[in-house]
Amino acid sequence: MKGDIGVIGLAVMGQNLILNMNDHGYKVVAHNRTAEKVDEFLQGPAKGTNIVGAYSLQELVDKLESPRKIMLMVRAGDVVDSFIDKLVPLLDKGDIIIDGGNTNFPDTNRRVAALKEKGIHFIGSGVSGGEEGARFGPSIMPGGSPEAWPFVKPIFQAISAKTENNEPCCDWVGNDGAGHFVKMVHNGIEYGDMQLITEAYQFMKDGLGMTHDEMQSVFIEWNKTELNSYLVEITSDILGYKDTDGEPLVEKILDTAGQKGTGKWTGINALDMGIPLTLITESVFARCLSSLKDQRVEAEELFGKKESIVEGDKQVWIEALRQALLASKIISYAQGFMLMREASNENGWDLNYGNVALMWRGGCIIRSAFLSNIRDAYDIDPELSFLGSDSYFKGILENSMTAWRKVAAKSMEVGIPMPSMTSALTFLDGYTTARLPANLLQAQRDYFGAHTYERVDKPKGEFFHTNWTGKGGDVSSTTYNS
Ligand code: NBP
């Protein structure tokens, strides 16, 4: 009997996905560039299963049922192109190549188009949930050649995480690189969620002077509220974790955050598309700032250490902080969905936002109860332009406003950096202000560069230039927006 699917790449993700597929009754053929890893896998974790090995790409291709489905779980970038180049001459028209790595979506756009010309289908799929997700149920976000989806769907939906209603956290996202785009936004949102939690931690630790056991209890309590999520849950575990000397391990970890690029890509895309994705972008910058450790140490000496004590009833502050965190999180998701909406419109992807929320409901790092409410919001209005306008989320934003402003103002007053929580509030203030000071900005642009402006008392699209000083000419610059 031939194999149902082939997987190339036997590192942590590939091995665990293969074992997951095997558990669901699929016969998997496993291949890896370094052939010894095939043997190690077959004699180790895959021993006693139906998994078979292939020591060359030809052997892999020969061992698969048609149309062949070959999934790459290798390092993103050139490695994927190199495998595609080697596979294509061995494949037949109608065969399917799937890239399950963390690929930047323009690469997937390019590969879908190039392989289409050769009659090969290509799927670029986000896979989230790390090692445990891959083994027991990841969130899977596939996009690319729609003709390939019916062949891959049963396998992917079987191995994916399931919601509490047993719905698979995997569905077709859209054409081209839509799957990898949605995975990229997922990772950006993950950056935002993590940053918001760290800001609450610093406020509690430095501002309220709380112990790690106290902070752990707070996160345990928060996890019973609307903030219920995997990241809040693991934060409570981390805060309670003691090193061998009985001290909290977290305080021994160097405060410089790493990043592998997906948050940065999300920010770059937001700038390209003109979407104010302020919270996620601040989260990326917060990681950049954290990496300037030596400079920060010097600057603290130069400016003096801040006394950031927050006075007042601790319990009142903790509840205010919870509300500020929840409200900021709503803004982060609202901005992320705005970005997906713009990308969907620009690329003709026809994204189903409720389905995206459902795919993130289980298996992935940002899984949370909150995503069910997002799904409900898009069920009510599939074209919702701002998540905060949905009645459930609007209610939370309004109820949290006083506490959110109190926390933001206090953080500024005592010098606790909270870039994401404060930028979220600033965004909402801007978004809910009918008249912003951009009129003055337009006047400045016209003053120095004759860039023209529109008038509130004339139809939109009619542009004016003023000779502000009496010395300039009447010739205006070309009017366009980049
Ligand atoms: P890695 O990202 O560490 O990739 C390891 C695989 O890539 C091995 O099979 C390795 O073969 C192969 N490879 C490399 Br590296 N360079 C190669 C080359 N020049 N030619 C051929 N093969 C090469 O594995 P991973 O952490 O399992 O991740 C796989 C994909 O899934 C990545 O795109 C990753 O970004 C994504 N992802 C990872 C996670 C996670 O939590 N780790 C989560 C979600 C998505 P070798 O054994 O011969 O060196």
- N residues, the chain: 482
* Segment (H or E) for 336: helix 314-347
**Span from the CA of 114 to the centroid of ligand 1 (angstroms):** 23
Residue 11 Cβ inside 6 Å of ligand 1? The answer reads yes
Q: What is the three-class DSSP state of 136? A: helix
**Span from the CA of 100 to the centroid of ligand 1 (angstroms):** 10
- Which atom belonging to ligand 1 lies closest to the Cα atom of 74? 7
The pLDDT tens digits of the residues spanning 218-248 come to 999 999 999 999 999 999 999 999 999 999 9
Residue 140 Cβ inside 6 Å of ligand 1? The answer reads no
Average pLDDT of 7-13? 98
Q: Yes or no: say if 456 and 447 are a contact pair by the CB < 8 Å rule.
A: no
Rounded Cα distance, 189 and 197, in Å: 12
Residue 263 Cβ inside 6 Å of ligand 1? The answer reads no
pLDDT above 80 (res 457): yes
Q: Which of 172, 107, 175 lies closest to 140 in space, CA to CA?
A: 172
Average pLDDT of 101-112? 96
**Span from the CA of 79 to the centroid of ligand 1 (angstroms):** 9
**Residue in this structure with the two tokens 């502000």, named with its chain if needed:** 468
pLDDT value of position 472: 75
Ligand 1 site-directed mutation target among 73, 75, 80, most atoms within 8 Å of CB: 75
Average pLDDT of 82-104? 97
- Atom 33 of ligand 1, residue of closest alpha carbon: 101
> What is the pLDDT confidence band of residue 261, given thresholds at 50, 70 and 90?
confident
Q: What is the chain's mean pLDDT, rounded?
A: 96
Q: Which residues are catalytically annotated?
A: 183, 190
CB atoms within 10 A of CB 372: 15
Tell me the percentage of the chain whose pLDDT exceeds 90.
Answer: 95
The pLDDT tens digits of the residues spanning 274-291 come to 999 999 999 999 999 999
The token pair that represents 349 in the structure block: 């992807």
pLDDT value of position 478: 78
- Atom 19 of ligand 1, residue of closest alpha carbon: 79
pLDDT above 90 (res 475): no
Q: Yes or no: say if 54 and 46 are a contact pair by the CB < 8 Å rule.
A: no
Rounded Cα distance, 26 and 104, in Å: 29
> What is the pLDDT confidence band of residue 479, given thresholds at 50, 70 and 90?
confident
Q: What is the DSSP string of 26-59?
A: --EEEE-SSTHHHHHHHHTTTTTSS-EE-SSHHH
Residue 158 Cβ inside 6 Å of ligand 1? The answer reads no
Rounded Cα distance, 415 and 450, in Å: 41
**Span from the CA of 201 to the centroid of ligand 1 (angstroms):** 33
The pLDDT tens digits of the residues spanning 385-426 come to 999 999 999 999 999 999 999 999 999 999 999 999 999 999
pLDDT value of position 471: 86
